[in-house]
Amino acid sequence: MNSALNHHVLVLNRLWQAVNVCTARRALTLLFQGHAQVVLNDADGSFRTFSFSQWQDLSQSEADGEVVHTISFRIRVPRVILLFAFDRMPKKEVKFTRHNIFERDRNQCQYCGGTFDRKDLNLDHVIPRDRGGPTSWENIVCSCIGCNTRKANRTPLEAGMHLVRKPKRPKWRPFVQINFTLHQHDSWKHFIDLAYWNVELGEDAN
């Protein structure tokens, strides 16, 4: 039961846009409280929505997928839920961490453009710290050891080097931290354009 409650559930806002991923426990709570409906896609490609009581009834007659058992009834774990009230895309800042800087720069040296193992990359202040350069998204880039040594304590201009791309604060994308495969969440593919949601951090994908 506990493992089933931890399964990932895709969350759609009331405009049917994918906005988040939550646990089955959270999804069932939202369903029970009347804040969401379950979305089920039929074999013909159409979609049906179910309230908590309707989903409970369906769970008794159709036992497909993971099921949560309570003292008095069993209920299927939903794969997709639709929120009634939420029509905005969530806003969330990407944490300024070493891992996320590597993610933004795609493990690529921002001076020579080469891709390296993370152990062979440093984090470089574009404007050196002792020149007043801040430790921020806009002034930190991945740099290979060779380029880092060559640049030393200089600006790129002084070192005769050029940045592959201007460092920016990355935009947060839903699901960028979620690892899933399509065969596990086949019902999600109707709502997620993988090429859009799984863009590398820092890419502008409008």
Boundaries of every domain in the chain: 2-90+174-197, 98-159
SS3 32: helix
Q: Which two tokens stand for residue 185?
A: 């969440």
The amino acid occupying position 163 is L
* Percent of residues, the chain, with pLDDT higher than 90: 41
Return all residues near 125 (Cβ < 8 A) that are at least 6 apart.
133, 135, 139, 140
- The tokens describing 117, both together, are 């193992």
| Region of poorest pLDDT, from 2-11, 105-114, 178-187 | 178-187
Q: CA-to-CA distance for 107 and 99, rounded, in angstroms?
A: 10
CATH 1.10.10.10 at 98-159, yes or no: no
Query: What is the C-alpha separation between 160 and 8, in angstroms, rounded?
Result: 49
Beta strand segments in the chain, E: 8-12, 18-23, 36-41, 47-50, 67-69, 74-76, 80-83, 121-125, 140-144
pLDDT tens profile 37-71: 999 887 777 788 999 999 988 887 765 667 776 66
Q: What angle do CA 138, 202, 172 make, to 5 degrees?
A: 105
Q: What is the tens place of the pLDDT at every residue in 138-180?
A: 999 999 999 999 999 999 999 999 999 999 988 755 443 444 4
Residue range 112-139: mean pLDDT, rounded: 94
DSSP string, 52-85: HHHHHHHHHH---S-EEE-SS-EEEPPSEEEESS
Average confidence score pLDDT of the chain: 79
Can you give the pLDDT at residue 117? 92
